[in-house]
Amino acid sequence: MGQFDGKIAVVTGGNAGIGLATAKRLAAHGAHVFITGRREAELDKAAAEIGNATAVAGDVSVAADVDRLYERVRERGDGLDVVFANAGINPLASLEELTEETHDAIFDVNVKGVFLTVRKALPLLNDGASIVLTGSTAGSGGAAGMSAYGASKAAVRAYARAWTSELAPRGIRVNVVSPGPVATPLWDTAFGDRAEEMITSVAAGIPARRPGDPGEVAAVVAFLASSQSSFVYGANVYVDGGLGQI
């Protein structure tokens, strides 16, 4: 039997990268996974790859889209056991280059999107459910060009602390997974043709001497989502090849 047999999970940003790897891992261990993302064609393709999955296209920063996602979960009738609030964006810009529009877009997806994803899940969450939020080493670092992104991930960390206190009476655990450099499409979006060069450069300065694989982060998310981490509340688990630890 899989450790998630009979469980229902939601993964935002589930069409690629860490979200897709996590959805695959949860489904492989028995969960039915609802995935959401803004690009419907990619989302449908991802659901086919995952197998035991339902794709619901939408933008986590839009309340009506999140409502539509959870209506599909509600229709299944089994409640909700795992929420992985993973969707995020990272447009690179120095302080001088950062526009109000870009700043707001980052916070809309990375902060408001996490809030809506978790807040609107509350009526469906079964007692003892697990919530995992995607943070980042940028949330405690100071990388140039990532001020708004880093601030958004610091906000996610703060959410996890407060929500841990608020939801603990129901046995609902909230934790954060904070990846370092991981080979995902987010790097392509941020750096374009220079993505491979940049990730190689960053990886050279960390103990692992390589970028992470999305599956390595997914393994930690699955641990935090499972009963194996039953005494882990409010933690921020770095999966960063040692980047933020030295």
Cβ atoms of 149 and 53 closer than 8 Å: no
Backbone dihedral region for residue 53 (phi beyond 0: left; psi -120 to 50: alpha; all else: beta): beta
For 214, counting Cβ atoms within 10 Å of its Cβ (0-12 exposed, 13-18 middle, 19+ buried), the class is buried
238 carries an active-site annotation: no
Q: Which residue has the tokens 């939801």?
A: 167
Catalytic choice (70, 149, 159, 238):
149
The dihedral formed by the CA atoms of 92, 94, 96 and 99, expressed in degrees to the nearest 10: 30
Cβ atoms of 165 and 120 closer than 8 Å: no
d(CA 240, CA 141): 12
d(CA 120, CA 210): 37
Question: Active-site positions?
Answer: 149
